Chains A and B, each alone.
Chain A
Amino acid sequence: MKQSRRIQTCNNIFILNTLEYNIHNWSITTPDKIALIDKKKTFSYKELFENIWASKILLELEYGISKGDTVVLAANKNVAFVFTYFALHLIGAKVLPIDEQITQDRLKFTLDKINPKLIVGLENKINNIKTIEFDCFTDLEKSSIPLDISFPNLEHSADLLFTTGTTGEPKGVLLSHRNIAQSVNNINSFIGNNQNDTELLAMPISHSFGLARLKCVLSAGGTLVLLGNIVNMKRMFRMFDEYKVTGFGMVPASWSYIKKMSGNKLAEYSNQLNYIEFGSAYMSAEDKMALTNLFPNTSLCMHYGLTEASRSTFMEFNTSKDHLNTIGKPSPNVIINIFDENGKKLSKEEEGEICIKGDHVSTEYLNIERNDLFYGEYFRTGDIGLINKKDYIVLKGRSKEIINIGGKKLSPIEVEDKIKEFDSELEAVCIGIPDVQGVLGEVVKVFVVKGNSIYDFEEIDNFLKKKLEKYKVPVEYEWINEVPKTSSGKIQRQKLK
């Protein structure tokens, strides 16, 4: 048992540093250690920081990026993304990582909101904002790195992430360098990440889970191997062998896929894998128990968190076998309490809203007042749960009606609004239904009120396919006579489940 990797309590006084400081530090103390592997290219920590610095100089001199600017980066998992991401932080600019498959509609919405100075790696047919390719940041000429580097201020904004809002419109969350550094510190404390890790990153980095894995490994001085995705299982296992991978992260949908596509082959790496991190979606207690049988010597860590409060709880399956139906306990340096609807703190076993406090919690939103989202210093998750007698947190439900498609979150209102765009007369309601394939957890189903409409589902479906990212397109359609609503007119989606 690798018990030493499990929960570490921090009794020592700890000074929080930015990730950029940590990476620079590794470039001095372990310059030849491999930091990044992307296809056949490898970069030592020294080379990584040299490239980050060269990218910083290019961004400043060639593209005029300065402190406070916002730059959109396509979340393309390549080394140039890594260079550019940290370079922008060193400048003091904010980074908005965006899914490469974003629709032009969604991109327009985002660009209108933030007016970035530069876009890297995305096609922009919308406006005249300067747009460049990632190629600009590869093979840059190295320039000398000064001895007195000015690292980012912990209180300044580092990342801007859009998360699924309850109104259907994405909500812009600003994460400070402190939020990010604290979150990385909390995660690495729990999982026990260190310099000896070699992690295969196959998750998208447009979402906070994947992006945080990148930050955690590089901040800990480990080696990160980039892989586009897990779709080609043979290639994934080849990389496990070739790079002697010791750590891996995945959403439950990826585990379902791996099982379907390769049976229990991953368990052949049980003794090689020190840790696997799971997150972003529900996983049944049975699945967790099955994993403990396959990986008895691996730290199987599952988190619960949100974009604005990353990894707020953790659980390690092998050491919490009696509590697998919970979401674990607060992460290191995180405090969680349950509050009622009036903001009154509740006792153990009492059900209410899960609220989170800690330096990892974002305190700033784009164009949204913070007050409604907090009870004092506690961030309101909108999720319902309780803390049981053994101090484990039990998630009872989501007060938000968010649909979770393989870890990607979707507000039903976004799809409903698109159907209105197709035909403003149509009344439609979307819900999440279990994925019959047993992979994605939930998929989208839409109920359409049968009225005088001449349209059939195929026409709606074709329209939505053009307007929405693939995972958001409903897989089931059904006619209904009327939408169930409360007396005040609020849609009762639960009644359609």
Chain B
Amino acid sequence: MNITEKVINVIAEAIEVEVNKIDEDTAIGDFPNWDSMGQLVIITSLEKEFDIKFDPEDIMELEDVGDMIEAIEAYTNL
């Protein structure tokens, strides 16, 4: 499973939607469960899955799935 697939899986599980309903353009607020609590669960789950810790400044930039994939790629390449 590549990073994109992993990220989408984590998000799907966190906000309880089917994987095939999420793509790179899916953004905060697109599903009722993707509220502030959902966003928090997603961030925490991504940090756990990829063993990273986002800086608050970077967290603010994570507005959609594509942003999250890019950020994870950057963090895991450090």
Q: Which residues of A pack against B, CB within 8 Å?
A: 101, 228-235, 237, 253-254, 257, 260-263, 265, 406, 437, 439-440, 465, 470-471
Contacts and interface: CB of A to CB of B under 8 A. Distances in A.
B57 A263 contact: yes
Contacts of A235: 63
Interface residues of B, number: 21
Nearest to B55: A263
B18 interface: no
A470 to B, nearest CB: 6
Nearest to A202: B36
Interface of B: 16, 27-29, 32-40, 43-44, 56-57, 59-61, 63
B50 to A, nearest CB: 18
Nearest to A204: B35
Across chains A and B, which 8 residue pairs bring their CB atoms closest together, nearest first? A263-B56, A231-B36, A232-B28, A257-B36, A233-B60, A231-B39, A234-B60, A231-B28
Q: Which of B28, B36, B39 has the most CB of A within 10 A?
A: B36
Nearest to B57: A263
Contact of A261 (B27, B34, B56): B56
Contacts of B38: 231
Nearest to A406: B37
A228 B29 contact: yes
Nearest to A437: B40
B37 A230 contact: no
A237 B56 CA distance: 14
A101 B32 contact: yes
Contacts of B33: 470
Contacts of A232: 27-29, 63
A77 B32 CA distance: 14
A437 B32 CA distance: 20
B28 A260 contact: no
A229 B56 CA distance: 19
Contacts of A263: 56-57
B60 A440 contact: no
A439 B40 contact: yes
17 contacts: A232-B27, A232-B63, A234-B60, A234-B63, A260-B40, A260-B56, A261-B40, A262-B59, A263-B57, A437-B40, A437-B44, A439-B37, A440-B37, A465-B16, A470-B33, A470-B37, A471-B37
